[in-house]
Structure 1
C-alpha cells in the first residue's frame, strides 16, 4: 500500500479535465481528500486537479455503478458530478451544473473547526470487550475513529475490537457515550488508502466486484 505522502509523487496523467482545453484555468489541489457519494454509499477519493467545469480525482477502487454521484468536500458542500473517464486509478468528472468557482472549492471554507472526513456506514458488527461480545451497528468511520450504536453500555476508556466479517479494525477505546451511541478512538489510526480500501471492501466495490476479507495490519 502507498502511504498518503507517497501519493504526491505519482505521475500526472495526460487526460484533460472535462470540458476544458489544456490552456484552460486549472488548479492542482494535490492531496485534498473528499467523498464520492452514491445513492446508497460514500467512498473516499483524493482531488488532484480542478477547473470551473470538472475535476480529476485519485481513486482506490473502480467507480461505483450507481448514479447519480455527488462530490462532497470536508465542509459538507456538495457538487453533482458525472464520470467522463476512468484510467489507472484516476477518474475525470464533469460538474453537472453551472461553472463552479474554483477559489471556493479550493478554500473549502467553514465556520466550524475542521474534522477528519467521516464516511457514513450502516453495517452490523460485533464488538469484543475482552470478556463478552456485543451486537452493534457501525454508523460512520474516519481516519481516527468510529461511531457505533449498541444496546450494551461500554465503559469509558474501555479497550474493544470491532469485527465486521469482511474487515477487522483492530483495537479501539471508548472515548464518549451518549445513550446507545459510542464514539471510539482507534488505537492505530488509518491511512487514507487504508480507509478507502476498507470502505471498498465493506461495499464490495473492487476490480472484480468481489473482494476478499481485508486485514488492517
Structure 2
C-alpha cells in the first residue's frame, strides 16, 4: 500500500505592515505655540496623528514652509506645511511622534513640572498702571495666563498692576517675581484664546515698505 504523501506545508501569508495606527487621527482641542522663520504665534490643534496635525491658525503661512510646534507638555516638534485652506493648516512632522507624548508627559514622568500655557516671545512697548500711576514697560512675552515685562522702576512681589497694550483689553495681574528690572506677572483672569491668537500676528506684522 502506498504511503500517504505528507501534506504540503501551509502557504505563508505575505506580511503586510499594519499602518492603521500610523495614520490614525485623534480629534483634540490643544493650544500650541507655532514658530515660523519670522514670528511666533498661537494656534489651536484640531486633529493629531503620529505623522502630523491640522490646526486653526491666525495668519497665512506659505506651503512647504518649515515650522515648529511647542506644546504645553514641553514637547517641541519640527514640521513642514503641506496645505492651508482659509484658517486651517495641515502639516507633516519631520519625524514620526507618539501623540501620547505630545498630549502629556506627566503620565510618563509624574515628577515633571506642571504644564503651562505656551508663551510667545515679544519685544514691544506698553504701559503699566500701578496705583493709578502710568509707567512705561516693555512686554517680553505673553501667554493666556501671564506675562514677563521689563520695567524702569522696580515693582514689589504680590503687587497688582494693569497692562495697557494696544489692541488688547486691560490685563490686570499680580507680580509673582521681580529681579534685575524684569518682572513676571500672573493674570487674575486668563486672556481669551481667540483675542490673544488674533492679536499676535497683527502686532508682529512687518511694517509696510514705501
Q: Give the alignment's TM-score, normalised by structure 1.
A: 0.72
Whether the 8 Å contact between 2:61 and 2:84 is mirrored in structure 1 is no
Distance 1:162 1:107 in 2: 32
Q: Structure 1 residues 139 and 93 mapped into 2: Cα distance closer, same or farther (>3 Å)? A: same
Tell me the residue number matched to 2:48: 50
Name the CA distance, whole Å, in 2 between partners of 1:193 and 1:152: 32
**Is residue 99 of structure 1 aligned with residue 100 of structure 2?**
no
**Which is bigger in relative contact order (C-alpha 8 A, separation at least 6)?**
1
Which residues of structure 2 form unaligned runs of 5+?
A: 1-18
Find the partner of 2:60 among 59, 63, 68: 63
* Per-residue deviation, 1:150: 1.0
Q: Please tell me whether residue 126 in structure 1 is matched to residue 127 in structure 2.
A: yes
Q: How has the CA–CA distance of structure 1 residues 188 and 105 changed in structure 2, closer, same or farther, with 3 Å as cutoff? A: closer
Contact 2:148–2:182 (Cα < 8 Å) also in 1: yes
Question: Is residue 74–residue 108 contact of structure 1 (8 Å, CA) maintained in 2?
Answer: no
Residue 197 of structure 1 aligns with which residue?
198
Deviations 1:8-51 (A, max 9, x none): xxxxxxxxxxxxx9996323242111111123421111212122
Look up the SS of the partner of 2:23 in the other structure. Answer: coil
Pick the structure with greater CA Rg.
2
Instruction: Give the number of aligned pairs.
Output: 185
Cα pair 1:159 1:174 within 8 Å, conserved? yes
CA offsets per residue over residues 100-136 of structure 1, 9 Å max, x none?
Answer: 2333334445622222222222212222224433221
Q: Do the aligned residues in 2 keep the contact of 1:30 with 1:49 (CA within 8 Å)?
A: yes
Alignment of structure 1 residues 60-209 onto 2, 5 Å: 61-64=58-61, 67-95=65-93, 97-109=94-106, 111-204=112-205
What's the Cα RMSD here?
Answer: 2.9
Q: Would you identify which runs of 4 or more consecutive aligned residues in structure 1 move more than 6 Å?
A: 21-24
In structure 2, how many angstroms separate the alpha carbons of the residues matched to 1:154 and 1:56? 42
Give the TM-score of the pair, scaled to structure 2.
0.74
